[in-house]
Amino acid sequence: MKYLKPLILCLIVVGINACYPKDQSDVYYIATQYEPVIMEREDLEKSIKLIEPQTIGEYGKIYIKDSLLFINEKFEGIHVIDNSDPNNPENLGFIVIPGNIDISILNNIIYADNAVDLVAIKYSTTGVEVVDRNKNVFPELSAPDGGYYSYSSLNDRPENSVIVKWLSK
């Protein structure tokens, strides 16, 4: 009985070691059915702005702050809706944030991912102001199907560029 625990431990270690391929020739990749949309970092950092209301397409997270609804449009930005009269909500505008998936609000500051960056944004009905940006906080967006995109193609992209979304081929 006292030898049973060490024996089980050895079998687990050997089993885990057998799960990893010894060389890369044993690794197979599934090609993705998506193509990356790439934006230069300089353009990414200038891209956040308030524009006229847009039609809501593929929505993500919905955040409620006072009488406003902030509805995330995956990879595009945030719709701002005045919901003070729930029977007649008014679409106030759209905050363009390329690569945006998630939002949060604290003390009237919107925190959002801007592809690989975390940005803090002040919103008013007349515009938005980026008050802070933390670069390269998040990993680069991967293909939605989990597939593999040719590294040679990604390595040929412009220096200082970021994937902001993936489109179907």
- E-strand spans in 3-155? 34-40, 49-51, 59-65, 68-73, 77-82, 90-96, 103-106, 109-114, 117-124, 127-134
**How many structural domains comprise the chain?**
1
| Cα separations in angstroms, 39 against 52, 99, 108, 123, 144 | 22, 10, 28, 24, 18
Encoded tokens for 37: 């949309």
Q: What pLDDT, on the 0 to 100 scale, is given for residue 158?
A: 81
What's the chain's average pLDDT? 85
Structural domain boundaries, residue 143: 4-168
pLDDT at 70 over 90: yes
Cβ contacts of residue 19 below 8 Å, gap of 6+? none
Query: Averaged over 115-120, what is the pLDDT?
Result: 96
pLDDT at 17 over 90: no
* Radius of gyration for the chain, computed over Cα atoms and rounded to the nearest angstrom: 22
Residue listed under structure tokens 């193509």: 35
**Could you tell me the pTM of the whole model?**
0.78
Concatenated DSSP letters of 45-74: HH--EEES-----SEEEEEEETTEEEEEET
**Can you name the residues that pair with 65 across neighbouring β-strands?**
68
Beginning with the edge strand found earlier in the chain, give each strand of the sheet holding 103-106 in spatial order: 103-106, 109-114, 117-124, 127-134
Encoded tokens for 100: 């945006």
